[in-house]
Each structure stands twice: as C-alpha cells, then as structure tokens.
Amino acid sequence: MTDRLTIALAQMNQRVGDLAGNAEAILEVRRRAGDVDLVVVPELQLTGYPPEDLVLKPSFVRRTMEEAARLVALTADGGPALAFGTIVEQDGRRFNALVVAEGGRELFVTLKRELPNYGTFDEKRIFDSGPLPELFAFRGAKIGFPICEDIWLEDVCEHLAAAGADFFLVPNGSPYELDKDERRQTLVRSRVATTGCPIAYLNRVGGQDELVFDGSSFVVAADGELVVQMPDWDEALLVTEWVRGADGWSCVTRASHALDDHPADIYQAMIVGLRDYVGRNRFPGVVLGLSGGIDSALSAAIAVDALGPDKVWGVMLPSGYTSGESVADARGSADLLGIRHDVISIRPGVEALATMLEDAFAGEQPGLAEENIQSRLRMVTLMALSNKFGHMLLTTGNKSEMSVGYATLYGDMAGGYNVLKDAYKTTVFTLSRWRNANRPEGALGPAGPVMPERVITKPPSAELRPDQKDEDSLPPYELLDAILVGLVDEELSVAEVCGRTGAERPLVAEIERLVLLAEYKRRQAPPGVKIGGRNFGRDRRYPITNGFRTGN
C-alpha cells in the first residue's frame, strides 16, 4: 500500500492492423516513461482504432491475443505496470478490453460495456457488451477503468463509484469533431460531480482513413477543476503524480497546453488526416489538378503543410474556356508553395472526343455532356500521372458541391483522398483566408500567403463553358451552406430550414431534391477528413433509391 502513485499517460498514434508495430510503440513508450508505477495507453491501442470488420476475422483476433500475451510476458523485465487496450475473446464472444500487466503476468482485465452505435461508430456489429466492470486494486488505490463510451452513460461510473473507486483512468478513441473538446470536458465534469472521483481522460492522436484523432487528453480534479491539459494533434507522454490525502486521491500534477481555436483546429485535422493516409498507404506524394480556383489552392496548401513541397505536384489542365487569370493564379499558388507545377492542355483530348462522338451527338445542342467530358479528361490525365509515377491523386471538391451533385462522377470526384470532403464552401473561404495570414504549428509549408489574394476574392467558376459562374446554377454559398447545414447536418425538414434561414420554400425543396438525387455519386466518392457531426460516408447513410421528400 502506498499514498503516492506515478501514472504515465501516453497519448499515442497508431496504425490499424499493425499489431507488431503498435506493440513495439507501446513498449517504447513504457521504456521512455522510466521509473513510474503505471503506464496507460489509449483504447484498443494494440489493434488500432477503429478496427472495424477486422474483428470479424478469426485469424486477426487470434494474432491480437497472441500479441497481447507477448506484451504481458515482456512486463517481466521489472519495469512499470502496463494498461493497454486490446481484444479479448471469451467463449466465442469478442470484447473491446483493457488489460493491466506487471511482472510478466496479467493482473486485471476489464471489458467495455457501452458500445457506441451511432455516427461514425458501429461497435455493436463487431463486439459483445461486457458486464458492469469491477475496480482494479493497485498499490492501495481502487482504480476504475471505464473505456471511452462507458463514461458517456451514467451506469458504469456510478457502479464503480458505489464500489468505492478512488479515481478513474479512461482510455479513449475519440475522433475529432468541431467543438468536441468542450463536449468532452463538460461530460467529464458531470461524471466527476456525480461520482466525486477525479478523472483522467486519455485520447489518441493521428489519422485513420476518414477519422482524425486530436488527443487533447486531460485530467479533471474532484472539485471539477481542469488540472492537466495535454496537447492536441501531437503524441505526448506525461507522468502524473497522484497522492492520497484526507479527502482521498488527487492528481497533484499541473500541466497546461493551449488547444487550437477555430479554424486552426479544422486545418490541423486536415493536415493530420492527409499526412497519415498518404504515409501509411506508402504513397510517395500527391498529385492534384491546380485550376487557379480556391478549392484546389487550399487543397495544395494543406498537402504541402502535411507532406512538404517536394511531395506535392500541381498540374494545370486548361481547356478552351480556361481564363488567363486562372492560369496565372494556378502558377501563383504553385510558386508561393514551392511545388512542382506543370501545364498540360486538354484541348487535343476535347477535340478528339468531339470527333469520336460527332455522329452519336449529331443534331444535339452542346450542354452538360460536353462540359463533363472536360472534367473527365482532366481526371484521365491526372490518373495517368498517378499510375506512371505513383503519386496519389488528391481530390479537391468541397461539401457544398458534393451535397447538391455539383461535381462530375469519374471527373473531379475521382481520386484517392479529399481533405475538403466535409468542408462547406464557406469553410473553404474561411480556411484560405486564415492560412494566408497564419502558418500552423508543425506545418511543412511556408510562412506567409500560400495563394494569390485573387483566388479568394474572384467569383468561383468551374470554367466548363463561356463566362460560367457557380451562382449561375446555385444560390450564393452563404445561403446554400446555411440550407445544407439544416438539411444534411441537422436533418431538418424543408419547412424547418425555411424558418431557420428565411429562404423561399421552392428553393429549399429544390436543394433537398438535389441532395437526395446526388446520393449515388457520393457512394462512389473517395474518403476524406471528417470535421463535423454528419459527414458523407461514416455518419450519413442514405438509400440511393429513395422516394421520401420533406418538401413534397
């Protein structure tokens, strides 16, 4: 029994499915922690999170348990106890679990009870729910280990508190969303208030496909004070000291770190998501169409900040409708970022397709089909470069366009990843202005502006026909995005959106029709960074064939 404990909180990155690599990273953190009593790592750190349907593969579960047994055995070296997230299989049932090991043996196992099954989460598909957990008695302290979702509902924490818990250590796999820091801390303070127990909230960092984990781990004292705030976005190892006093156990460590404000947090999420996606899928870099417009300019800036200018290749693909301003602005963006820039005209391809389709299109007026040919020829060209040199094609469309189908299937929608997938056009403008005035911490790109000011101020245009402007087909983006937030993010009816925005009912009904009509396109879109509460893909899963309309 002791009145003092040292607990190392390890805010770590991961690679889903890389059991040996994740295990070695856990062991390295344990070595770095030095002479402490206990090292804690995030939820399912051994497998990576979320493992999704890997859990349904028997060989994956078997190898995970073998790797977990190896980790347990390696604690026989006399170092600190280790609490790590893994999978446990019992009687054919698979659980999201936490194992505590010391001295080469397993001291404690607890199973996650509350399985999230909303938004990005689908844990009931792959895991069984554990029983109400027990406390872990460790050197005289009674520690509760609720796992992530276990603290979002009251039962687990109240059960552990009633059993005599001194404090909680909570391993998490909590993805970034707008305003998530505030929601996490509000929740934890409410659990502290109802249980009287201090809580250490440990989260991971890094990108996993569409999800980005921001870390931002923290400790809240029994009186509700935030006494420890770890950094966002970066791996961190913090040794915290816990002392038993007259009023019970408390964390006496004090540490603070300023978290990113808006919109720096969104920008950092995009950097982290792209960096880990490209790196872990072993692409040598990215190639993208640099059109002279704001979406591609911002995508290029994010790519440079994430990967470095030597790994980003911008290609201008002018047609007969491309303005001189756009050619100059694309070159200007490339020069400011210091990236390779090529110009490859698609006019010969457009002429060749016109000849090929001349008989089939005879008697028809030029229109959308001819516009889309230009977009698709650009992607054919970019994919040829990708195939030849290995660079991943970075898609540049924003959420406003994706919502209403203002994007070309097998054209500008093609690619391997899209950092702007969950960013409305108004957010794109906000991020571009911010990045021109700020250099994010840890960015590999330059200080100062990353795109010409004209890219931000000129009217957006796809330049697929003479004098084309986005607002020829769409309402102003300020209004469009407000409508889309209501229809997509908040699932409001047409009438409710009209009341919220002041927009006319026919316009909102038409936008709803376009959103639902474009579902088949979005099913074929590349993954991209999730930043809001209802991204297309993991969060929002609509049927393609769907006759329901709230505007009818």
According to the model, what pLDDT value does residue 533 have? 78
Output phi, psi for 529, to 5 deg: -65, 130
Mean pLDDT throughout 109-137? 91
Single-letter amino acid code for the residue at 78: G
Which among 226, 183, 176 is positioned nearest to 203, based on CA atoms? Answer: 176
Specify the CATH number for the domain of residue 107.
3.60.110.10
User: Could you give the 3-state DSSP secondary structure of residue 395?
Assistant: coil
According to the model, what pLDDT value does residue 122 have? 86
User: Cis peptide leading into 506, omega within 30 of 0?
Assistant: no
User: Could you give the 3-state DSSP secondary structure of residue 344?
Assistant: coil
| Choice among 9-13, 40-44, 476-480 with the minimum mean pLDDT | 476-480
CA–CA dist 36, 15 (Å, integer): 26
CB atoms within 10 A of CB 402: 27
**For residue 238, is pLDDT > 90?**
yes
Task: Catalogue the long-range contacts made by 468-472 (C-beta closer than 8 Å, 24 or more residues apart).
Answer: 468/321, 470/406
Q: Is 469 annotated as a binding residue?
A: no
**For residue 44, is pLDDT > 70?**
yes
For tokens 């999730």, what's the residue? 530
According to the model, what pLDDT value does residue 467 have? 65
Q: Which residues contact 148 (CB under 8 A, 6 or more apart)?
A: 43, 112, 116, 170, 171, 172, 173, 174
Q: Which helix (H) or strand (E) holds 472?
A: none
According to the model, what pLDDT value does residue 545 have? 82
Are residue 46 and residue 128 in the same domain, yes or no?
yes
Are residue 94 and residue 130 in the same domain, yes or no?
yes
Asked whether residue 530 is domain-assigned, the answer is no
Which structural domain, as residue segments, surrounds residue 113?
Answer: 4-251
Are residue 280 and residue 228 in the same domain, yes or no?
no
CA–CA dist 326, 2 (Å, integer): 69
* Mean pLDDT over each residue of the chain, to the nearest integer: 94
Asked whether residue 506 is domain-assigned, the answer is yes
Boundary residue ending a domain (251, 274, 298): 251
| Choice among 290-294, 397-401, 544-548 with the minimum mean pLDDT | 544-548
**For residue 441, is pLDDT > 80?**
yes
Are residue 275 and residue 408 in the same domain, yes or no?
yes
Are residue 163 and residue 282 in the same domain, yes or no?
no
Are residue 435 and residue 473 in the same domain, yes or no?
yes
Going by pLDDT thresholds of 50, 70 and 90, the confidence category of residue 543 is confident
Are residue 244 and residue 284 in the same domain, yes or no?
no
**For residue 386, is pLDDT > 90?**
yes
Asked whether residue 322 is domain-assigned, the answer is yes
Q: Is 174 annotated as a binding residue?
A: yes
Q: Which helix (H) or strand (E) holds 198?
A: none
Measured at the CA of 133, the angle between CA 26 and CA 82, to 5 degrees, comes to 20
Are residue 140 and residue 289 in the same domain, yes or no?
no
**For residue 459, is pLDDT > 90?**
no
**For residue 121, is pLDDT > 90?**
no
Asked whether residue 110 is domain-assigned, the answer is yes
pLDDT tens, position by position, 255-285: 999 999 999 999 999 999 999 999 999 999 9
Measured at the CA of 439, the angle between CA 433 and CA 443, to 5 degrees, comes to 125
DSSP 503-515: --HHHHHHHHHHH
According to the model, what pLDDT value does residue 468 have? 61
363 CB burial (10 A radius; 0-12, 13-18, 19+): exposed
User: Cis peptide leading into 50, omega within 30 of 0?
Assistant: yes
Asked whether residue 545 is domain-assigned, the answer is no
Boundary residue ending a domain (224, 251, 278): 251
Q: Is 216 annotated as a binding residue?
A: no
Q: Quick check: pTM over 0.85?
A: yes
**For residue 466, is pLDDT > 80?**
no
Q: Is 311 annotated as a binding residue?
A: no
Are residue 478 and residue 517 in the same domain, yes or no?
yes
Single-letter amino acid code for the residue at 273: G
pLDDT tens, position by position, 349-362: 999 999 999 999 99
Asked whether residue 415 is domain-assigned, the answer is yes
Within the chain, what is the greatest distance between any pair of CA atoms?
A: 90
Output phi, psi for 181, to 5 deg: -55, -45
pLDDT tens, position by position, 170-218: 999 999 999 999 999 999 999 999 999 999 999 999 999 999 999 999 9
According to the model, what pLDDT value does residue 321 have? 85
For strands 167-171 and 199-202, give the pairing: parallel
Are residue 242 and residue 307 in the same domain, yes or no?
no
Going by pLDDT thresholds of 50, 70 and 90, the confidence category of residue 104 is very high
Asked whether residue 119 is domain-assigned, the answer is yes
According to the model, what pLDDT value does residue 428 have? 97
Contact in structure between 511 and 480 (CB atoms under 8 Å):
yes
Boundary residue ending a domain (251, 284, 310): 251
**For residue 93, is pLDDT > 80?**
yes
Asked whether residue 549 is domain-assigned, the answer is no
Contact in structure between 507 and 533 (CB atoms under 8 Å):
no
Q: Is 320 annotated as a binding residue?
A: no
Provide the annotated active-site residues: 43, 112, 148
Are residue 286 and residue 393 in the same domain, yes or no?
yes
According to the model, what pLDDT value does residue 540 have? 82
Going by pLDDT thresholds of 50, 70 and 90, the confidence category of residue 119 is confident
Q: Domain tally for the chain?
A: 2
Are residue 354 and residue 435 in the same domain, yes or no?
yes
Specify the CATH number for the domain of residue 363.
3.40.50.620
